[in-house]
Amino acid sequence: MERSTTLQDKPLDEILHVAEKLPPFPDVVQKVMPLLERMAPVEDIEAVIQYDQVIAAKVLALARSPHYTRAQPAKSLKEAIISLGQRALVEVILAACSARFQDQAIQGYDLREGELWEHAVGTAIMADRIAERLGHTDRLTVYTAGLLHDIGKTVLNHYVDRYFDRVIIKKAIKSQDQSFLDVEREILGIDHQELGGLIARRWNFPPGVVAGITHHHSPQDAEENRLVASIVYAASRMLAAMGIGTGVDGFLNPNQDQVFITLKLDERTIEKLMADVFVALDETKKFLCT
């Protein structure tokens, strides 16, 4: 039976409850990070990874990909860890772990199976490239925020599907009277960036990651870590403009967008970054998607 939506009838409590009940982010990330930080011996890292079959398989697959293979392909997990190096290792673990939450279809946002995850990984790679250009020192924070920026959609999807009138929504977005975030807030009581921030906090990600997610559509509102949020905003919009996870997002006009101007992302730079990330994403998909 159709239920009518009134302001008193927002499903916010239920949404927060579902977010609260999400399984924890795989603890292999939380275990590996401190080991890398204190430059633990490779055997210690191997000991953590080997018990997670999916992650171990992806680490090996990546190390054997042409991008990392030096003379001889890695024969063992230990060799794979060594040949990848710290950053690539953490990134592959994060990307593989996040796939467990983001690889399903997100019909409420017009995203087919795998599309949200592809948008997430592409945004992470793009955010990392932008951070590198700017000489940002904490690229892992930027990468992680990029990877998880739309995680709130995985919970809101069900409610968008149930509560939203598609025709009205599409019209509202087209006329640009209201952004999709405003509609989320009005009908559901929370938008996907705020909910994503709550989920990331619950998963114990650091404040930079939480801020990057919470303000990925409105970096100007970030009191702290505004640069992280700005980079994720730009990266996500660029991926949408590439047709990767466009869903209900709008078009891109960097010359009229203050965030792009601040990040010194002009049309030529954007074109080059898009071409680079297109190739990198294709490579990443080969070994991460099994």
Q: How far is the CB of 119 from Fe ion (least distance, A)?
A: 6
User: In this complex, which beta carbon is closest to Fe ion, that of residue 128 or of residue 150?
Assistant: 150
Instruction: Please give the residue ranges that form the binding site for Fe ion (CB under 5 A).
Output: 150, 236
User: In this complex, which beta carbon is closest to Fe ion, that of residue 83 or of residue 123?
Assistant: 123
In degrees, rounded to 5, the angle at the alpha carbon of residue 159 between the alpha carbons of residues 3 and 4 is 15
CA terminus-to-terminus distance, the chain? 39
Q: How far is the CB of 156 from Fe ion (least distance, A)?
A: 10
User: In this complex, which beta carbon is closest to Fe ion, that of residue 80 or of residue 111?
Assistant: 111
Which residue from 148, 123, 125, 127 is spatially nearest to 136, judged by alpha carbons? 127
User: In this complex, which beta carbon is closest to Fe ion, that of residue 80 or of residue 127?
Assistant: 127
Residue nearest Fe ion, Cβ-based: 236
Q: How far is the CB of 219 from Fe ion (least distance, A)?
A: 12
User: In this complex, which beta carbon is closest to Fe ion, that of residue 83 or of residue 236?
Assistant: 236
d(CA 71, CA 53): 26
Q: How far is the CB of 13 from Fe ion (least distance, A)?
A: 23
Q: How far is the CB of 212 from Fe ion (least distance, A)?
A: 11
Q: How far is the CB of 266 from Fe ion (least distance, A)?
A: 22
User: In this complex, which beta carbon is closest to Fe ion, that of residue 44 or of residue 221?
Assistant: 221
